A = this chain, B = another copy of it.
Amino acid sequence: MLQNQSIGIFDSGVGGLTVYRALHERLPHERFVYLGDTARVPYGTKSLSTVERYAVENAQFLAARNIKLLVVACNTASALALPAIRRAVDVAVVGVIEPGARKAAVVAENRVGVIATEATVGSRAYSNAIHKFSPDCEVIETACPLFVSLAEEGWANSPEARSIATQYLQKIVETEVEALVLGCTHYPILRQTIQEIVGEKVTLIDSGEATAEVVAQVLLKENLSANLAHDSKQLSENRSLCDDLDHFYVTDAADRFARVAERFLGTHPARLEAIELWGKDELHTN
Which residues from chain A sit less than 8 Å from chain B, CB to CB?
Answer: 38-40, 45-47, 50, 53, 57-58, 60-61, 118, 145-146, 148-150, 153, 155, 159-160, 163-164, 249, 251-253, 256, 273-286
Cross-chain contact A282 with B278 (CB below 8 angstroms): yes
Q: Inside 8 A of A252's CB, which chain B residues have their CB?
A: 45-47, 50
Cross-chain contact B149 with A155 (CB below 8 angstroms): no
Q: Inside 8 A of A256's CB, which chain B residues have their CB?
A: 45, 118
9 further A-B pairs in the complex, CB-CB below 8 A; given A45-B253, A50-B252:
A39-B50, A60-B283, A145-B149, A149-B149, A155-B164, A274-B286, A275-B284, A278-B282, A280-B281
Cross-chain contact B281 with A277 (CB below 8 angstroms): yes
Q: Do A58 and B280 form a contact, CB below 8 Å, given A155-B164, A159-B163? A: no
Q: Inside 8 A of A274's CB, which chain B residues have their CB?
A: 47, 286
Copies in the assembly, this chain:
2
A280 CB contact (under 8 Å) in B163, B273, B282: B282
Task: Compute how far the CA of A38 lies from the CA of B46 in the bound complex, rounded to whole angstroms.
Answer: 8
The DSSP consensus for interface residues of chain A is mixed
A273 CB contact (under 8 Å) in B155, B281, B285: B285
Q: Inside 8 A of A50's CB, which chain B residues have their CB?
A: 39, 252, 277
Task: Compute how far the CA of A285 lies from the CA of B61 in the bound complex, rounded to whole angstroms.
Answer: 9
Q: Inside 8 A of A280's CB, which chain B residues have their CB?
A: 278, 280-282
Cross-chain contact A283 with B277 (CB below 8 angstroms): yes
Could you give 21 example pairs across A and B, Cβ below 8 Å? A39-B46, A39-B50, A45-B253, A47-B274, A57-B283, A60-B283, A145-B149, A145-B153, A146-B146, A148-B149, A160-B160, A251-B283, A273-B285, A273-B286, A275-B285, A276-B284, A277-B282, A278-B280, A278-B283, A278-B284, A280-B281
